[in-house]
Amino acid sequence: MNSSRLLLLAAIAALSGCATGYTLVPAGPVTIQNLHVNAAPGWNLAPGSNMNARANTQVWTQDGLLLNRMVFVPAVSHGEALIRSPQKDAALPVFRKDMLPNEIEELAESTFVKLYGDGNAVINTSNLRPHRFGDTPGVMFDVDASVTESPDYKGLVGAFISGEQLYFMYYLAAEPHYFGKHREAAEAMIKSAHL
């Protein structure tokens, strides 16, 4: 994608953000349901316009949702999906309380495919690695997404299971510019997550 198209997308996203009630997230400790995160400066809470978001999910952005997003999905119970679908008969992948790290990675891949639409995205995850979220062991991994009629995205995912519930955080941003622009802050926020 050329830089002029990215700039146009940024302008559209910025203008739409001003008109639809984005709220600045205060830098420092933030609680999302029972998930605690150390928020970096400059992130904005997107309004409840994402019809795929579960209750209690928060979506943050710096430059507009088409360019970057930081998503926190707390307390997903056994048998529930990470997203919701407006179609009641949609077959969404679901969390199981006994999932292994590689199965959480597969859940993320399948969920991102559903989020962007079957046949509209090629999602690859890699670099599965352990990470402790406070006192709770979890995982992190990388994401590459090639989406039809959209920029390519790169991302980071962090996830852990506690009390038989999944806590799932991810950062996705347009590549090449926007992913690198906020990667360090997004990774620090994911790594700071704890109960």
Residue 34 has pLDDT above 60, yes or no: yes
Domain range spanning residue 163?
A: 3-192
Taking the CB of residue 162, how many other CB atoms lie within 10 A of it? 18
CATH label of the domain that carries residue 74: 3.40.1000.10
Residue 6 has pLDDT above 90, yes or no: no
The tens digit of pLDDT for each residue in 62-94 reads 999 999 999 999 999 999 999 987 666 678 999
Residue 11 has pLDDT above 90, yes or no: no
pLDDT on residue 86: 65
Q: Give me the number of domains the chain comprises.
A: 1
The most distant pair of C-alpha atoms in the chain lies apart, rounded to whole Å, by 47
Counting every residue, how long is the chain? 195
**Residue matched to tokens 């830089």:** 3
DSSP string of 108-146, one letter each residue:
HHHHHHHHH-TTSEEEEEEEEEEEEETTEEEEEEEEEEE
Which of 8-12, 33-37, 173-177 bottoms out in mean pLDDT, i.e. has the lowest?
A: 8-12
